[in-house]
Amino acid sequence: MLHIVNKSPTERSALASCLAHARKGGAVLLIEDAVYAATKGSAAQASVERALRELPVYALGPDLDARGMGASVIDGVKVVDYGGFVDLVIEHRTSQSWL
Amino acid sequence: MNIGLLINEGPYSHQAADSAWQFAKAALARGHRIQRVFFYNDGVHNATKLTEPPQDDRHIVNRWSRLAEEHGTDLVVCVAAGLRRGLVEENLAPGFRISGLGQLVEAGIESDRLVVFGD
Amino acid sequence: MTQVAEDIEREAGAEAVVKKFMFVNRKAPHGTIYALEGLEVVLISAAFDQDVSLAFLDDGVYQLLKGQETKAIGVKNFSPTYRALEGYDVEKLYVERESLEARGISEQQLLVAVQVVSAGEMAELMEQQDVIISS
């Protein structure tokens, strides 16, 4: 399953809740304000790194760039564009948006 | 593949409508089909032809209309959510149609994937 | 096979599509419209003979609290509708135990019979779905 998160980890609990339910075989995609979670020094860095041991974590490049965070991505997080977003949706049988 | 989209937020206030449109463009460019875009909650405001953003801003409503025109994408606005918010046939932008919530369930049944954009 | 027979067969095949739909509720009622309009989708989905379930986790568990009294804020109290779901053959209501505990809520405070599951079980249920609609 593809888990899509769009909330900043310091504003809402969506990412924490998502990571508590995401499992091996799935993937997490951070878009919109959730891309802050994919950046070095964020309060969510440790939990994102923990998640990376179990499953891939992606961040949407255009959203990172828009927020001036394109050069601060945590090692191991893969940056994708909208085409990559589409590919992830196709690759996984279902998606869940953690709104 | 056939992909359905659900949009739960209005334009400009939230990035959801922008993300969904970018997603739709990328999916079409990769040869997929956007089976339907369903507008729910405040998402119904994506469909009003009264929208007039400043000239230097993107026109979110026209972007959807163009998607319908160029790719035949089915843009469906929930009738109940629309009525609640004053979105009726008379102020509907080209390419959109108003219908029931059943169209969302149907998109879930008929599409290979359903992606939700909201807040 | 005749064209008519083929059409009938195709029609039957189309009707037989039953997908597992899960409606995920993670938001409290009244502060925003998501819980109410989410419930409206659930009621419509019942007419499509799909395998429908509802998940309540995080602040979504507040939707099911007994004793909601909305008169003084002037908005519709839609909480009794959860009790009507059974009449629509929507009987799979899953509530996450960890979410209840984090909010000091017991199962006895809920207004409808539910199945309380762990976060792990909830994750498993989510994995089994064909369509997940969150609001």
- Strands A27-30 vs A2-5: parallel, antiparallel or unpaired: parallel
Catalytic residue chosen out of the listed positions B17, B24, B76, B78:
B78
What pLDDT score does C1 carry? 45
Query: Domain for residue C4, yes or no?
Result: no
Q: What is the mean pLDDT of chain B?
A: 98
pLDDT tens, residue by residue, A14-42: 999 999 999 999 999 999 999 999 999 99
Considering all CA atoms of chain B, what is the largest pairwise distance in Å, rounded to the nearest integer?
40
Average pLDDT of the residues in B76-89: 98
Query: Domain for residue C49, yes or no?
Result: yes
| Residue C17: pLDDT band with limits 50, 70, 90 | confident
Size (chain B), residues = 119
Task: With a threshold of 0.85, tell me whether the complex ipTM lies above it.
Answer: yes
* Window from A14-23, B42-51, C8-17 with minimum mean pLDDT: C8-17
Q: Would you say C72 and C66 are in contact if contact means Cβ atoms under 8 Å apart?
A: no
Asked if the model's pLDDT at residue C4 lies above 60, the reply is no
pLDDT tens, residue by residue, C65-118: 999 999 999 999 999 999 999 999 999 999 999 999 999 999 999 999 999 999
Average pLDDT of the residues in B29-37: 98
CATH of A2-98, one of 3.40.1260.10, 3.20.190.10, 3.40.50.720, 3.90.1150.10: 3.40.1260.10
Contact B116 A82 (CB under 8 A): no
Residue C77's CATH number:
3.40.1260.10
Per CB-CB distance under 8 Å, the chain C contacts of A94 are: 129-132
Nearest CA of chain B to the CA of A40: how many Å?
23
Asked if the model's pLDDT at residue C32 lies above 60, the reply is yes
The count of domains in chain B is: 1
Query: Domain for residue C130, yes or no?
Result: yes
The count of domains in chain C is: 1
Contact B23 A85 (CB under 8 A): yes
Structural domain boundaries enclosing C108: 19-134
Structural domain boundaries enclosing B13: 2-117
Residue B40's CATH number:
3.40.1260.10
Cα–Cα dist C67/C123, whole Å: 29
Cα–Cα dist B83/B86, whole Å: 5
Closest CA to A56 of A31, A11, A89, A23: A23
Q: What is the mean pLDDT of chain C?
A: 92
What pLDDT score does C10 carry? 52
pLDDT tens, residue by residue, A42-71: 999 999 999 999 999 999 999 999 999 999
Average pLDDT of the residues in C34-59: 97
SS3 string of B20-46?
Answer: HHHHHHHHHHCCCEEEEEEECHHHHHH
Query: Domain for residue C11, yes or no?
Result: no
**Residue B78 annotated among the catalytic residues of the structure:** yes
Per CB-CB distance under 8 Å, the chain B contacts of C48 are: 102, 105-106, 109
Cα–Cα dist A28/C6, whole Å: 43
Per CB-CB distance under 8 Å, the chain A contacts of B19 are: 6, 31-32
Query: Domain for residue C47, yes or no?
Result: yes
Contact C26 A98 (CB under 8 A): yes
